[in-house]
Amino acid sequence: MGEKISEIFGTDVFNETVMQERLPKATFKALKKTMENGDDLDPQIADVVASVMKDWAIEKGATHYSHWFQPMTGVTAEKHDAFIAPASEGKIIMEFSGKELIKGEPDASSFPSGGLRATFEARGYTAWDCTSPAFVKEDAAGVTLCIPTAFCSYTGDALDKKTPLLRSMEAINRETVRALHMFGKNDVTHVSCSVGPEQEYFLVDHESYMKRADLRFTGRTLFGAVPPKGQEMDDHYFGAIKERVASFMSELNHELWKLGVYAKTQHNEAAPAQHELAPIYSLANTAVDHNQITMDLMKKVAKRHGLECLLHEKPFKGVNGSGKHNNWSIITNTGENLMKPGKKPNENTQFLFFLAAVMKAVDDHALLLRYSASNPGNDLRLGAAEAPPAIISIFLGEQLSDIVEQVINNGKATDFKKNSYMNIGVHTLPEIKKDATDRNRTSPFAFTGNKFEFRSVASSLSVAGPNTVLNTIVADVLSEYCDELEKYAGTKDFEDEVMKLIRREFKAHERIIFNGNGYAEEWVKEAERRGLPNEVSVVGATKALLEKSTVETFERQHVLNKAELEARAEISYEIYSKTLNIEARTMLEMYAKLFAPAVIKFEKELAEAIGSIRNVSDKIDTSVETELLEKISLKLKEARLAEDKLEKALEEAVSAENAKCQAEAFNNKVFPAMETLRKPVDELEMLVGKDYWPVPTYGDLLYEI
Ligand code: ADP
Ligand code: MG
């Protein structure tokens, strides 16, 4: 691994440099126009690109190509086809046509469609997304050329996470350019949203992982007593990175760099065995692809080091879980970041205009935004005082909140709170300028100087969803604002009219701003008073997809139609039920096959010990042993009853009449029944001898590497 980063970076990517070098000038120009301005793709250039792409991939050792897509399962899917085509005399030639590049036909029936596609209507199509670069991937199967694609049904309905994202990028582009032209920025022809997702994860030892059915089947521990040492010492966060982890990180970076992923920051996180990787931000769809690749590679590279990477939101009860911070902003083709307040934020009408749009979008669609960050695992984390609450609010910080306040009170802001310099009290240290906003780790949606950081997102979730929602709801507000203001564009009244609108909107949506402690109990009450939604489960939040305002907004912006939204709700309910069904059945199996027999074995030996001691002399006091045996037997009884309860709840849920009722039954009945079984088993773990316990404990898993 001695190579320089600059030499290996992007070597496995069919990126712009490669295209410029290898494609005929005219083809490159035409393709670039499609990539940059969203112009229609000319089918004739596809043939040329395909042939050049194939040669490049074959030079890299590729034998196969694959349309790489992102179905609603949330993980990426690929179907490999060899480049070979028969030639005369039983020989083959390596072939790859424009048609094969542009369109693929995987069988859609094996992917969740939420009823959009009946099983007999299995046709599904993948379409080349030329805005996201192709790459080669090497694994045991050899080298494969991966072509990022969108996946849709025969009727053109989106069956994946990529299609709506691309549509939402068109929406935000269209409406933002419109708005900027009003502000006289006629040189802006295109904007894109930039996304930087920070990824948290756990690493555990592979051998121990294999011994736990819950980790293998569900990605989280379903049982486990909290170890004597948790994270209370705060000694893991930013702590020195252990050798084995360091070598994992080094190889991961190397692999990511080859694929053109800007892996930048790595450090230990709050919990033991927890780490984080942050890339430098990029264009939204590239960022989504790269995050999927990152998650994939984390798992793969971990195995090479005898480790397992856990991306689950809450692998360990009582220990901080993992999230993904989705940093988001809008940047123009002229290089302006629209979320940057500038030197004088109070006078920056354009910035305040976009701020108002974000505030309105988030306030009007709070539940939808919360839904977009959710999955079953995140239910265990949001609102548990380690991650933002389930209530969506915006943290603006002192400086911007003050400006909002001034505008509401006086129609404009005459001054602003300046950034100060920190006094560290040591002359030899450099003066450090303070950020205008302090950090607020408890806020779900925080302004962090030049971007918004959506901090609620589930660690294992694709960031396509949250960014699709963000782009769409902000685009829709911008469109509404433009409808109102466009007639004043270029007139002397423009500035006044914009400020009037900003004031009105700040006033109307001030309730969404909250700079305080999001973990505090009072915030829940205060939010309720403000009328902000607080859905504690993804099951309850899913209804946001079907709300009238969501359907109208998404149809207006051509991102998802009603049928597609309904399908997504259906899939969300299905995923919840399936997840909990697997979890509950895994618990029942672990209890019956592992824990109950282990406890009984311990009981038996304890009972025999008591008898043997008494045989020696009846003067020896065996009350301690007897008490322990009694206690264990009572706990086992409690577990036994809980087992019954969970079985019944499960039966009831499985027979529910539709997807929504089923998810609700899993949420309201099965989930609490799982907790009821877990409690006595975790207590038994503390009573039974370590040698008898059939699975590695939390202490083993968290402090082993
Ligand atoms: P912080 O330490 O406040 O979280 P960083 O500067 O470390 O901020 O950035 C965190 C993440 O945000 C990184 O992935 C970074 O690339 C990303 N980021 C920075 N600026 C932007 C932006 N304008 N748009 C989107 N993401 C951004
Ligand atoms: Mg951050």
In ligand 1, the atom with minimum distance to the C-alpha of 337 is 23
Q: How far is the CA of 168 from the centre of ligand 1 (A)?
A: 21
Domain count, the chain: 3
CB of 574 closer than 8 Å to CB of 659? yes
What values do phi and psi take at 155, rounded to 5? -90, 5
The amino acid occupying position 399 is Q
Q: How far is the CA of 210 from the centre of ligand 1 (A)?
A: 36
Distance CA 526, CA 519 (A): 12
pLDDT at 433: 60
Q: Which ligand is nearest to the CA of 441?
A: 2
**Which domain covers residue 611, as residue numbers?**
576-703
**What are residue 454's DSSP bridge partners?**
326, 445
pTM for the complete prediction? 0.94
Q: Is 158 helix (H, G, I), strand (E, B) or coil?
A: strand
Q: How far is the CA of 262 from the centre of ligand 1 (A)?
A: 12
CATH number at 627 reads 1.20.120.1560
In ligand 1, the atom with minimum distance to the C-alpha of 327 is 26
| Domain end (from 259, 293, 323) | 323
Clarify whether residues 155 and 9 are in a common domain.
Answer: yes
pLDDT at 623: 95
Q: Which ligand is nearest to the CA of 294?
A: 1
In ligand 1, the atom with minimum distance to the C-alpha of 195 is 25
Q: Which ligand is nearest to the CA of 200?
A: 2
Clarify whether residues 56 and 148 are in a common domain.
Answer: yes
Q: How far is the CA of 265 from the centre of ligand 1 (A)?
A: 11
| Domain end (from 138, 159, 180) | 159
Is 381 inside any structural domain? no
In ligand 1, the atom with minimum distance to the C-alpha of 328 is 25
At CA 347, angle to CA 345 and CA 352, rounded to 5? 65
Q: Please list the alpha-helical segments (H only) found in 591-670.
A: 596-616, 623-654, 659-665
CATH number at 151 reads 3.10.20.70
Clarify whether residues 17 and 155 are in a common domain.
Answer: yes
| Domain end (from 292, 323, 354) | 323
Query: Tokens 């009170």 identify what position?
Result: 409
**Residue bearing the CA closest to ligand 1, atom 17:** 196
Sequential DSSP letters for 342-404: -S-GGG-HHHHHHHHHHHHHHHHTHHHHHHHT--GGGGGTBTTTSB--SS--EE-HHHHHHHH
User: Ligand 1 pocket check: which of 327, 338, 457 to mutate, most ligand atoms within 8 Å of Cβ?
Assistant: 327
Clarify whether residues 131 and 212 are in a common domain.
Answer: no
CB of 54 closer than 8 Å to CB of 94? yes
Instruction: Quote the tokens at residue 403.
Output: 């400006």
Is 164 inside any structural domain? no
Is 296 inside any structural domain? yes
Clarify whether residues 99 and 205 are in a common domain.
Answer: no
Q: How far is the CA of 325 from the centre of ligand 2 (A)?
A: 6
Is 455 inside any structural domain? no
Clarify whether residues 13 and 145 are in a common domain.
Answer: yes
Clarify whether residues 309 and 239 are in a common domain.
Answer: yes
Half-sphere exposure of 688 (CA within 13 A, CB side): 29
Q: How far is the CA of 550 from the centre of ligand 2 (A)?
A: 28
pLDDT digits (tens, 9 = 90+) for 174-229: 999 999 999 999 999 999 999 999 999 999 999 999 999 999 999 999 999 987 76
In ligand 1, the atom with minimum distance to the C-alpha of 280 is 16
pLDDT at 65: 94
Q: How far is the CA of 345 from the centre of ligand 2 (A)?
A: 22
Query: Tokens 């303070």 identify what position?
Result: 434
Q: Which ligand is nearest to the CA of 450?
A: 1
Instruction: Quote the tokens at residue 290.
Output: 């790269």
**Residue bearing the CA closest to ligand 1, atom 11:** 196
Instruction: Quote the tokens at residue 541.
Output: 């939040």
**Residue bearing the CA closest to ligand 1, atom 3:** 448
Is 483 inside any structural domain? no
Low-confidence ranges of the chain (pLDDT < 50): none
In ligand 1, the atom with minimum distance to the C-alpha of 331 is 23
Q: In Å, how far are 113, 152, 157, 387 from 117, measured between CA atoms?
A: 6, 10, 9, 37
User: Ligand 1 pocket check: which of 280, 451, 470, 471 to mutate, most ligand atoms within 8 Å of Cβ?
Assistant: 451
Is 251 inside any structural domain? yes
Q: Is 205 helix (H, G, I), strand (E, B) or coil?
A: strand
Clarify whether residues 25 and 146 are in a common domain.
Answer: yes
Clarify whether residues 584 and 660 are in a common domain.
Answer: yes
In ligand 1, the atom with minimum distance to the C-alpha of 281 is 16
Q: How far is the CA of 442 from the centre of ligand 1 (A)?
A: 17
The amino acid occupying position 497 is E
**Residue bearing the CA closest to ligand 1, atom 2:** 448
Is residue 585 within a helix (H) or strand (E), and if so which, with residue range? helix 562-590
Distance CA 41, CA 23 (A): 16
Clarify whether residues 128 and 205 are in a common domain.
Answer: no
Q: How far is the CA of 453 from the centre of ligand 2 (A)?
A: 7
Q: How far is the CA of 326 from the centre of ligand 2 (A)?
A: 8
User: Ligand 1 pocket check: which of 195, 281, 324 to mutate, most ligand atoms within 8 Å of Cβ?
Assistant: 281
Q: Which ligand is nearest to the CA of 457?
A: 2
Count how many residues are written for the chain: 705
Taking 3-state DSSP, the helix, strand and coil percentages for the chain, each rounded to the nearest 5, stand at 50, 15, 35
User: How buried is residue 4: exposed, middle or buried, by Cβ count under 10 Å (0-12/13-18/19+)?
Assistant: exposed
Q: How far is the CA of 442 from the centre of ligand 2 (A)?
A: 12
Is 592 inside any structural domain? yes
Q: How far is the CA of 379 from the centre of ligand 1 (A)?
A: 26
Which contacts qualify for 102-108: CB closer than 8 Å, 24 or more apart? Answer: 102/41, 102/43, 102/46, 102/127, 102/128, 103/127, 103/128, 104/67, 104/79, 104/149, 106/67, 106/69, 106/77, 106/79, 106/151, 108/151, 108/153, 108/159
Distance CA 465, CA 468 (A): 5
pLDDT at 424: 58
CB of 319 closer than 8 Å to CB of 270? no
Clarify whether residues 599 and 665 are in a common domain.
Answer: yes
pLDDT at 266: 84
In ligand 1, the atom with minimum distance to the C-alpha of 198 is 14
Q: How far is the CA of 26 from the centre of ligand 1 (A)?
A: 36
Q: Which residues contact ligand 1 via a Cβ below 6 A?
A: 194-196, 198, 278-281, 327-329, 337, 448, 450-451
Clarify whether residues 33 and 134 are in a common domain.
Answer: yes
CB atoms within 5 A of ion ligand 2 belong to 325
What values do phi and psi take at 264, rounded to 5? -120, -55
In ligand 1, the atom with minimum distance to the C-alpha of 329 is 24
Q: Which ligand is nearest to the CA of 397?
A: 1
Q: Please list the alpha-helical segments (H only) found in 376-535.
A: 397-410, 464-485, 494-509, 521-530
Q: Which ligand is nearest to the CA of 265?
A: 1
Contacts of 144 (CB under 8 A, 6+ apart): 62, 63, 64, 65, 66, 78, 80, 136, 137, 138
In ligand 1, the atom with minimum distance to the C-alpha of 265 is 7
Is 471 inside any structural domain? no
